């Protein structure tokens, strides 16, 4: 009797446990099925959102007010042409210019005017946030944010196999996917603009290399056209040194305003009727510098105070480049300065030979005292303000002895172009 009761109770427990497990499995199956349907729905929704974003274009906003903005219609027209490639376009582009020439503002304006098919990605100052910025420009919802089960699987697989790729790479893959859809619909490549790529060069230059490699491959396939926007200097030299440069068009340079344009900006936009000539002679046609000195003048600062402040700021660049007296590159820098005072530009190879190694050469060029001109392969002064600082400190930098034919920088070296 006891054995029969025991067996009956054991069987009842087994039935209860099996029933409970069945319910759990049913609930799990229901959850997984629902989760799968939700993930599929979200994938389709996000894909439509990506396509809609590309159809409309990013259309980045500018922060500069109309009363301080000087329209450069010719430059904007050139940029718009880059952003409207024809169906057979098979090159990528580089837009370069010195800091303060207004590259970002002009690129944003042109991108906004073109609209459809143009994605604008601004590389943030914190490179770790590049993937987030890339995704935001695309309206891209990263995969791990869609499905609970996918999050769980990814976490488990990451524990064993590592990551499936950085966020910026997944965003790029998403862009390429919708670029193919755009090409099929419109018969021409989409465009992606990478602004401020110089921010990548110090912390993670491999990202820049990968973007350049992918730009070359997709220019070959005519899926999308990349436009890299950067200061002239180490970024451009790195890009030029790589084999993928073969698919790059000659860089488009955004330079300073002409004197006529600068005068027009000061008188018509900023309503300054006096000392315009002196302000221009101090900073030249560098629009950012013109804006700053105009702001200072309209705030009531004297021309002398403005000049002192600007020269003090410029001294920091010389200090950063280690070009001041008793600093590491003073002698080499002095040679370059005197050559440039005579010839305006010198061959980049001659400039490079002044320094012990490539690291020192890069260090000086990155400090924004000298500028590299890729179209001529030469080096010159970075701005008018640099020249003013040298003139104000001629006793430190300028040799009054005439250059002779035996000097290192004779006419065979101090040239404005490669022979």
pLDDT tops 60 at residue 39: no
What pLDDT does residue 26 have?
A: 58
Whether 171 maps to a domain, the answer reads yes
What is the pLDDT at residue 182? 96
Same domain, yes or no, for 239 and 310? no
Q: Give the residue, 64 or 301, on which the prediction is more confident.
A: 301
Q: What is the CATH number of the domain that holds 341?
A: 1.10.10.10
Q: What is the pLDDT at residue 49?
A: 85
At residue 405, the pLDDT reads 36
Tell me, what DSSP letter sits at residue 248?
A: B
Q: List C-alpha distances in Å: 50 to 47, 115, 122.
A: 5, 15, 18
- The answer to whether 139 and 27 are in contact (CB under 8 A) is no
In this structure, the answer to whether residues 122 and 232 fall within a common structural domain is yes
Q: Which pLDDT value is given to residue 215?
A: 97
Are 317 and 379 part of one and the same domain? yes
Residue at 6 is within a domain: no
Q: Which H or E run contains 174? A: helix 167-186
Neighbours of 125 (CB within 10 A): 8
Q: What is the pLDDT of residue 272?
A: 95
Catalogue the long-range contacts made by 54-57 (C-beta closer than 8 Å, 24 or more residues apart). Answer: 54/116, 54/117, 54/119, 54/138, 54/175, 54/178, 54/179, 54/182, 54/190, 55/116, 55/117, 55/182, 56/115, 56/116, 57/111, 57/112, 57/114, 57/115, 57/116, 57/117, 57/118, 57/119, 57/120
Place of tokens 């799990």: 28
Tell which wins on pLDDT, 416 or 284.
Answer: 284
Identify whether 47 is part of a domain. Answer: no
**118-122 and 252-253 strand pairing:** unpaired
**Is the confidence at residue 161, as pLDDT, over 60?**
no
* Mean pLDDT rounded to a whole number for the chain: 85
pLDDT at residue 40 in the model:
61
Give me the domain span that covers residue 328: 302-397
Per-residue pLDDT reduced to its tens digit, 337-367: 999 999 899 999 999 999 988 889 988 988 8
Which is nearest to 189 in space by CA: 149, 217, 170, 158?
Answer: 217
Please provide the DSSP assignment of 77-136 as one string. HHHHHHTS--TT---BEEEE--TTS-HHHHHHHHHHHH-TTEEEEEPPSSGGGHHHHHHH
Q: How confident is the model at residue 67 (pLDDT cuts 50, 70, 90)?
A: confident
* Residue 313 sits in the same domain as residue 200: no
Among 151-160, 221-230, 345-354, whose mean pLDDT is lowest?
151-160
The pLDDT > 90 percentage for the chain reads: 66
> Which tokens go with 147?
């499905």
Where is pLDDT greater, at 357 or 232?
A: 357
Where residue 158 falls among pLDDT bands split at 50, 70, 90?
A: very low
Residue 203: the pLDDT is: 84
Strand (E) or helix (H) holding 74: helix 73-82
In a domain, 361, yes or no: yes
| Domain count within the chain | 2
253, 284, 319: which is the final residue of a domain?
253
Residue 34 placed within a domain: no
Is the per-residue pLDDT at 130 higher than 70?
yes
pLDDT band, very low/low/confident/very high, at 3 (cuts 50, 70, 90): low
**Containing H/E element for 175?**
helix 167-186
pLDDT tens digits along 74-87: 999 999 999 999 99
pLDDT tens column, 234-260: 888 899 999 999 999 999 999 999 999
Inform me whether the pLDDT recorded for 177 exceeds 70: yes
CA distance 235 to 7: 80
> Is residue 66 very low, low, confident or very high in pLDDT (cuts 50, 70, 90)?
confident
Question: Does residue 143 lie in a domain region?
Answer: yes
345 shares a domain with 214: no
On the question of pLDDT at 185 being above 50, the answer is: yes
Q: Is the predicted pLDDT of residue 96 greater than 90, yes or no?
A: yes
Same domain, 310 and 244: no
Do residues 191 and 119 touch, judged by C-beta distance below 8 A?
Answer: yes
42 pLDDT more than 90: no
Helical segments of 222-302, H only: 234-240, 259-264, 276-283, 287-298
pLDDT of residue 231: 85
31 located within any domain:
no
Which CATH number belongs to the domain containing residue 154 in this structure?
3.40.50.300
Direct distance between the N- and C-terminal alpha carbons of the chain, in angstroms, rounded to an integer:
112
pLDDT in tens, 377-405: 899 999 999 999 999 999 999 885 444 43
Looking at residue 28, its pLDDT comes to 56
């Amino acid at each position: 009797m006891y054995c029969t009761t025991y067996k009956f109770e054991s069987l009842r427990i087994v039935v209860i446990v099996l029933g409970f497990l069945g319910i759990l499995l049913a609930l799990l199956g229901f959850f997984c099925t629902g989760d799968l349907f939700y993930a599929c729905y979200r994938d389709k929704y996000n894909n439509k959102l990506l396509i809609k974003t590309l159809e409309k274009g990013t259309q980045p906003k500018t922060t500069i007010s109309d009363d301080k903005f000087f329209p450069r219609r010719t430059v904007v027209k050139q940029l718009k042409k880059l952003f409207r490639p024809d169906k057979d376009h098979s090159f990528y582009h580089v837009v370069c210019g010195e800091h303060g020439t207004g590259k970002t503002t002009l690129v944003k304006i042109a991108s906004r005017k073109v609209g459809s098919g143009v994605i604008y990605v601004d590389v943030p100052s914190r490179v770790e946030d590049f993937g987030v910025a890339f995704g935001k420009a695309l309206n891209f919802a990263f995969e791990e944010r869609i499905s609970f089960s996918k999050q769980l699987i990814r976490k488990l697989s990451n524990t064993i196999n590592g990551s499936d790729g950085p966020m910026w790479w997944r965003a790029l893959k998403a862009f390429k996917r919708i670029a193919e859809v755009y090409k099929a619909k419109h018969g021409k490549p989409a465009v992606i603009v990478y602004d401020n790529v110089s921010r990548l060069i110090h912390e993670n230059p491999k990202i820049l290399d990968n973007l350049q490699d992918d730009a070359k491959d997709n220019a070959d396939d005519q899926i999308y056209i990349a436009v890299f926007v950067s200061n002239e200097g180490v970024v451009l030299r790195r890009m030029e040194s790589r084999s993928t440069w073969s698919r790059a068009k000659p860089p488009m340079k955004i330079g300073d305003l002409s004197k006529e344009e600068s005068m027009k900006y000061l008188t018509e936009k900023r309503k300054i009727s006096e000392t315009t000539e002196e302000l221009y002679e101090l900073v030249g046609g560098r629009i950012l510098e013109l804006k700053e000195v105009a702001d200072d003048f309209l705030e009531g600062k004297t021309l002398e105070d403005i000049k002192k402040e600007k020269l003090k700021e410029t001294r920091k660049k010389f200090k950063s480049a280690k070009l001041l007296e008793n600093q590491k590159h003073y002698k080499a820098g002095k040679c370059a300065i005197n050559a440039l005072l005579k010839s305006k530009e010198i061959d980049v190879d001659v400039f490079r030979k002044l320094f012990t190694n490539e690291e020192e050469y890069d260090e000086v060029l990155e400090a924004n005292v000298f500028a590299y001109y890729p179209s001529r392969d030469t080096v010159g002064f970075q701005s008018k303000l640099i020249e003013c600082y040298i003139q104000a400190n001629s006793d430190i930098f300028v040799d009054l002895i005439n250059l002779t034919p035996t000097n290192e920088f004779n006419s065979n070296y101090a040239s404005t172009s490669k022979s």
